[in-house]
A and B are shown apart, each in its own frame.
With several copies, the nearest count.
Chain A
């Protein structure tokens, strides 16, 4: 007997697909919701049913609680999965579900509120005995900010109280930048979260970002599935995650796991959650708790042989937590974002071709399809590549192999950077911190440059040849005639304009 009859998946992209997959495997129907821009999205095509919400801006669609809950009611859903982002950490959405008699596949509204306000969360963590980063402030304004920053010492971090997932964070290294950065951070926070509160924190040196995956049921049981190391970040956006974290001793892991479970208990938590810590030199500090499924949850799934979405559904239906299996091997995730590998600016365009990795120990969570338009409306993550190996060395080698197999044409990705991370001596030694990406050597060897030039020259020659150049030395005809593949290209472009 299925736990629920029909789940509304209040999200898009790979995470919507992720939830749909598990629901299908559990025999539960799914209802997708979609914006104008997502009419052809894979989550719409793979769900049992689909409901159109409205315009392409999130506020008109995925962020509109009334529309989303309305769709759930209209289609007879008995549960709703918020994914990550969008409504996932909005207590009001959880409340609205409750009011409509729909099970929210996430924690109770109180827990969301308690952990969603970063200032509040710190207080609760302190009471629960969880260690904190020094220097946090509340009731921050420009004047108090300057004084507080002097007290904890530069560099300092500015964080949006309503932020999360690396959004709304700025590092300030000198006092003269502080006030402008504060104003920018407030403006961003207002725009992104509708809440312009920003707080300040000591910037811990050589920190590692280590987080604990927890799960709680409705019977008071709380378990953790070990840690994920997420220190490979740029602009506080994670690029590579792994589990286990090489730096932790078993004793430290148990202390962190226990602290995370204590925090969950302190707020009456139910479902999946992640407690983020800074780790530095044998000490760990509470950063924040994410009251939702995390992007990088598959790293944990690969190691523990657990389906965390399935567990979310099971505990929401009132079942008891399954025992946590012994973890096996090592898992690594790489986020495949549509972005320029040098500037990390979003790379927009149309996915004209893809070639996906496969073989042993490789998982791809993605909502990519040929023809997908990457638009500025949503975040730029195209896919998550997750590998599992018997040990860290095999996982790294496998990850490298899989990245080389992955080809995406139409937008660029930071995969060349991810490969450099996997080759980096600090990373290989496991002795790295959140600054690793800034230190990555991006230079090319002379052999690589020569190879690329050879290939480029040969490709150009072949194009000219195929285009009908009559003699080996070329008489200009090559550039007059249209090569066959550029005809194809134009066909696709023509098509694109019409569709």
Chain B
């Protein structure tokens, strides 16, 4: 089984085989012996890599694998061949539109721009209040506001689309 993993922009190819109860994972010119065992709680794994032990909490949502191990939190994208092919096609559709989304639920306490406004990089677009802090959300680059999707005073959910810039 072949997988493509991506983490922090680095992409690598892995080949996984099940032999004699173990997993043999090859990447580049090296092969690792893995013993991966699921603990009774359904999300924790005991992972042995060539005898080295790791306590891993893993959340697998299709190609998004979120890991807690060695004191770190990793979000790794793992595609199999079929998914990789499908994503390669979909990737061509990406345009010049950028979305500003709420990173957390909160209240829009101020809207600093209107539809049609030109904005500069670093300009405050929206002030979102959450957890008792007022957080100015800034433009990541220059552009024009093409759509406003929130109102001042509105409570928004995490991930809610606030506005679009082109």
Residues of A412-469 whose CB lies within 8 A of B? 412, 415-416, 419, 444, 448-466
A353 at the A/B interface (Cβ < 8 Å)? yes
For A460, give the chain B residue with the smallest CB separation: B78
A496 CB within 8 Å of chain B: yes
Residues from chain A with a CB closer than 8 A to the CB of B53 are 32, 44-50
Task: Give the distance in Å from the alpha carbon of A491 to the alpha carbon of B36 in the complex.
Answer: 22
Contact call B42/A448, Cβ cutoff below 8 A: no
- Interface segment among A94-102, A245-253, A290-298, A372-380: the answer is A372-380
Q: Do A187 and B134 touch (CB < 8 A)?
A: yes
* Alpha-carbon gap, A139 to B27, bound state (A): 66
Nearest opposing residue in chain B for A403, CB measure: B71
Minimum CB–CB distance from B32 to chain A (whole Å) comes to 6
Known contacts A51-B51, A348-B158, A450-B27; A184/B136 CB under 8 A: yes
- Bound Cα distance A431, B51 (Å): 38
Min Cβ gap B26→A in Å is: 11
List which A331-348 residues lie within 8 A (CB) of chain B: 340-341, 343, 345-348
In chain B between 98 and 141, which residues have their CB closer than 8 angstroms to a CB of chain A? 103-106, 109, 127, 129-136
B65 within 8 A of A: yes
A379-B131 in contact (CB<8A): yes
Shortest B126–chain A CB gap in Å is 13
In the assembled complex, A120 has its CB within 8 A of some CB on chain B: no
Asked whether B48 lies within 8 Å of A50 as measured between CB atoms, the reply is: yes
**Residue from B43, B59, B67 whose CB has the most chain A CB atoms within 10 Å:** B43
For the complex, is A474 an interface residue (Cβ under 8 Å from B)?
yes
- Least distance between B61 CB and chain A CB atoms (Å): 8
Is there an interface contact between B60 and A460, defined as CB atoms closer than 8 Å?
yes
A372–B40 CB distance below 8 A? yes
- 9 cross-chain CB contacts under 8 A: A45-B46, A48-B53, A346-B104, A371-B42, A376-B106, A444-B8, A451-B69, A455-B49, A460-B78
Name the CB-closest residue of B to A85. B132
Q: Which B residues between 26 and 79 are near A, CB-CB below 8 angstroms?
A: 27, 32, 34, 36-49, 51-60, 62-63, 65, 67-74, 76, 78
Decide if B57 touches A448 in the complex (CB within 8 Å): no
Chain B residues within CB distance 8 Å of chain A? 1, 3, 5, 7-8, 10, 12, 14, 16-18, 23, 25, 27, 32, 34, 36-49, 51-60, 62-63, 65, 67-74, 76, 78, 80, 82, 103-106, 109, 127, 129-136, 158
- The minimal Cβ–Cβ distance linking A439 to chain B, given in whole angstroms, is 19
CB distance from B18 to the nearest CB of A (A): 6
Say yes or no: B39 contacts A369, CB within 8 Å.
Answer: yes
Residues of B with C-beta under 8 A to A353? 41, 43-44, 57
With the chains together, A452 CA to B78 CA distance in Å? 11
Q: Which residues of A contact B40 (CB under 8 A)?
A: 40, 350-351, 369-373, 495-496, 499
* Minimal beta-carbon separation of A89 from chain B (angstroms): 15
Q: Are A380 and B131 in contact (CB under 8 A)?
A: yes
Interface residues of A in 4-42 (CB under 8 A from B): 32, 39-40, 42
The residue from A347, A451, A472 contacting B17, defined by CB atoms under 8 A apart: A472
Q: Select one of A42, A187, A461 contacting B3, CB under 8 A.
A: A461
A residues with a Cβ closer than 8 A to B are 32, 39-40, 42, 44-51, 75, 167, 184, 187-188, 191-192, 235, 340-341, 343, 345-348, 350-353, 355, 369-373, 376, 378-380, 400, 403-404, 407, 409, 412, 415-416, 419, 444, 448-466, 472-474, 476, 479, 483-485, 488, 495-496, 499
Report if A458-B51 is in contact (Cβ < 8 Å); known contacts: A44-B46, A452-B67.
no
Does A50 lie within 8 Å of B43, measured CB to CB? no
Q: Select the residue from A47, A378, A412, A463 with max chain B CB neighbours within 10 A.
A: A463
Are the CB atoms of A455 and B69 closer together than 8 Å? yes
Residues in B with CB closer than 8 Å to A372 are 40
B134 touches A184 (CB 8 A): yes
Q: In the assembled complex, how far is the CB of residue B68 from the closest CB belonging to chain A, in whole angstroms? A: 6
Residues of B within 8 A of A346 (CB): 104, 130-131
Closest residue of chain A to B56, judged by CB?
A455
B37 touches A455 (CB 8 A): no
Specify which chain B residues have a CB less than 8 angstroms from the CB of A473 in the assembled complex.
1
Per a CB cutoff under 8 Å, which of A187, A404, A485 touches B70? A404
Provide the residues of chain A in CB contact with B46, threshold 8 Å. 39-40, 44-45
Residues from chain A with Cβ under 8 Å of B37 in the complex: 39-40
Say yes or no: B132 contacts A407, CB within 8 Å.
Answer: no
With a cutoff of 8 Å between Cβ atoms, the chain B residues found around residue A415 in the complex are 71, 73
